[in-house]
Structure 1
Amino acid sequence: MDEMTAVRDLRAEAPAAERADLVAGRELLLREAAGRTRTRRLRSDWRLVAAGTAAVITAVAVIGTQVADRGPEGAQPGAGTGYNLELGSAKDLLNDAADAIAAGPAVTARDGQWIYVKSVETNVTDDEPDPQTSEDWMAYADPKMEGRRAGDDHSPREEYAFLKSLPDDPAKVRAKARAFFYATDPSETRTQHEYRALVAVLSRAYAYDPAGLAKVYRALATIPGVQVAEVQDDAGRSAYALYLKSVSNTSRDEVLLDPDTWLYAGYRSVERSGRNEEWGKGDVVISTARLAVAVVDRKGEKP
């Protein structure tokens, strides 16, 4: 019996969450992770859904080919259980990822350029639960998103500067991440805050210095309770799912890493209790996958 099963059995008498409670909780999670007020119910912020990678920026066409046979726009038709292989502690995997990232190329952009992101999301709580593909553009340098003008949201340029500024000590990296994505929920523990902040940095690393990004992975590896599973993302691809061990009996929120590049690949929310009337235990309630990211010269330009 794995640890998650033991926790579920221990909490077997706990009442199942009502739909309204789940919706409210998911909205809070996504709003905090995205770092801004949300207006669309349960729709993941596109800046959380996709992060820049050297492999994708230089080979968008290759990724398009890889997902072309997996249904319309590279998405699987609807959310489901997929496969899930629990691998235990993520410490070794994250340190391996850090080594690979540090040895790789930098991803850079300049003022006046834009970040292009293509992603797919399936949300079974939505009025349109089929996979929805979106394309978005974000200004690399946006003064309105810098210097705390947008709370703890940041422009890609500001996040690049943050990564360049990181020290070697993982404890100091965790402290800087806490300040960069500060706490707004008084019930959030320090461990939860550090985990949330560090995975937010990973998800928004559209342009990055490899040494700085590697330090984020090494800091994440020092947080107690970070686990990993091998899963399938919303585009039908294998992924590593990171999550923080919790006694919650309603859902498990996962951050996905690409097993080839080790970079951010998406997000999933998985039903844990099996007592919801609308979806079963192990069902993926919300799933997002990054299909492509690129630096372009103009808003609306595609790679």
Structure 2
Amino acid sequence: MDEMTALRDLVEDVRPPDRARLAPGRQRLLEGVSGGGRTRALRGGRRLAVVCAVVAVVAALFATQLWVGGDGRRDMRGVPAVEPRADQWVYREFLEYQAPLNFRDDLNPRTEDGSSGGPATGGKTEYETWTAYGSGQLYRTMFDPGVIKKIGHSNLGSPQSVRDKVAGLPEDPEALLRALPGVVPFGGGGPQGQYARIETLFTEVAFIPPEVRASLFRALGTIPGVTIGRKQAKDATGRGVLVVSFADTQYAERYNLRQDLLLDPETFEYRGSRGVYLAGGLVDGKPTTRDIVVSARVLVRVGVVDARGQRP
């Protein structure tokens, strides 16, 4: 499967937009036709954002109950929680897909094929990382899989120290959200900061104890603005995933994009992420009527090895 086929197949899994989400795009198109500026009806936009946030909270709570049971819990037995030794390395293999779109022209990307003399913007990238479990030293392959370079340290510290902190998080969602800044000291405040911290843990921390993953997932469903897909989607390799997103209206207005977090529907382990270009924007000068997946990151596999450069 080539990268464009993989991205195109993902489009079928993106939920169709409603009228409220199409409205900003229609307004941009009308302003473009009339020659008007980019003035926004801020007061109305705020009212719409409040309504959308309330709807998203209800949807997220319903989706959480749908996936983890009526009381928001799931039996996580059978999911391995293998912890490496301090002298071992966490191995991760990734695939990244990028649609051949040039986003230099603000919200109106155009397809590029490299015919202008420069490289095409789209394509597939494969790379691997090795993180020292006890120290957090981080290495990765670049363009040549035989070349492994040190790129620094894990953002959160050593995986071992982070796992110890995560293991101590409370089970209650409200108490867990209050405790998160002690584990992830960055991310900002409010619902967006709460979501960013949980997203960081899912994305960056391997071997989170399964009961803690379940608690983090339950907490996601209580954050205003978070939406959890009510049915499985597919990642770029065809695996079933849960789609989690946060209603970041400023990011959407500035870039016309949404970032989705992809989790395993059974274990809630991190499976990847994707970037979605929102309906109502322009691609190649033509208005879009549905969301389009324009980038995807896939965590192919995770393992434990005894030395960097080894593969499980």
Inter-partner Cα distance in structure 2 for 1:200 and 1:296: 23
Inter-partner Cα distance in structure 2 for 1:5 and 1:132: 33
The 5 A counterparts of 1:49-64 are none
CA 1:285 to 1:3, structure 2 compared with 1: closer, same or farther past 3 Å? Answer: closer
The 5 A counterparts of 1:237-276 are 237-247=239-249, 248-249=252-253, 250-276=256-282
CA 1:258 to 1:168, structure 2 compared with 1: closer, same or farther past 3 Å? Answer: closer
Q: Which residue is 1:191 aligned to?
A: 191
Inter-partner Cα distance in structure 2 for 1:120 and 1:152: 21
CA 1:98 to 1:115, structure 2 compared with 1: closer, same or farther past 3 Å? Answer: farther
Q: Which residue is 1:9 aligned to?
A: 22
The 5 A counterparts of 1:69-84 are none
Q: Which residue is 1:298 aligned to?
A: 307
Deviation at 1:98, TM superposition (A): 5.2
- TM-score, reference length from structure 1: 0.64
Contact kept in structure 1, 2:271 and 2:298, CA below 8 Å: yes
Q: Which residue is 2:172 aligned to?
A: 169
Q: Which residue is 1:236 aligned to?
A: 238
Q: Which residue is 1:215 aligned to?
A: 215
Inter-partner Cα distance in structure 1 for 2:97 and 2:293: 9
Deviations 1:104-135 (A, max 9, x none): 33221111100111111012258452221212
Q: Which residue is 1:58 aligned to?
A: none
SS in 1 for 2:179: helix
Q: Which residue is 1:133 aligned to?
A: 126
Inter-partner Cα distance in structure 2 for 1:240 and 1:106: 21
Inter-partner Cα distance in structure 1 for 2:197 and 2:300: 23
Inter-partner Cα distance in structure 1 for 2:153 and 2:305: 24
Q: Which residue is 2:184 aligned to?
A: 181
- The equivalent position to 1:91 in structure 2, one of 64, 70, 73, is 64
Q: Which residue is 1:156 aligned to?
A: 159
Inter-partner Cα distance in structure 1 for 2:303 and 2:155: 24
Q: Which residue is 1:32 aligned to?
A: none
Contact kept in structure 1, 2:177 and 2:219, CA below 8 Å: yes
Contact kept in structure 2, 1:270 and 1:282, CA below 8 Å: yes
Inter-partner Cα distance in structure 2 for 1:130 and 1:207: 30
Aligned residues: 226
- The equivalent position to 1:101 in structure 2, one of 76, 79, 84, is 76
CA 1:300 to 1:150, structure 2 compared with 1: closer, same or farther past 3 Å? Answer: closer
Deviation at 1:291, TM superposition (A): 0.9
Inter-partner Cα distance in structure 2 for 1:255 and 1:217: 12
Q: Which range moves more in the overlay, 272-281 or 215-224?
A: 272-281
Deviations 1:30-81 (A, max 9, x none): xxxxxxxxxxxxxxxxxxxxxxxxxxxxxxxxxxxxxxxxxxxxxxxxxxxx
CA 1:162 to 1:218, structure 2 compared with 1: closer, same or farther past 3 Å? Answer: same
SS in 2 for 1:12: helix
CA 1:200 to 1:98, structure 2 compared with 1: closer, same or farther past 3 Å? Answer: farther
CA 1:121 to 1:3, structure 2 compared with 1: closer, same or farther past 3 Å? Answer: closer
SS in 2 for 1:158: helix
CA 1:275 to 1:128, structure 2 compared with 1: closer, same or farther past 3 Å? Answer: closer
Inter-partner Cα distance in structure 1 for 2:162 and 2:73: 18
- Letter matched to residue 261 of structure 1: T
SS in 2 for 1:131: strand
Identity of aligned residues (%): 24
Inter-partner Cα distance in structure 1 for 2:239 and 2:92: 18
Q: Which residue is 2:298 aligned to?
A: 289
Q: Which residue is 1:55 aligned to?
A: none
CA 1:15 to 1:141, structure 2 compared with 1: closer, same or farther past 3 Å? Answer: farther
CA 1:302 to 1:152, structure 2 compared with 1: closer, same or farther past 3 Å? Answer: closer
Deviations 1:138-165 (A, max 9, x none): 11121679xxx97963321122112111
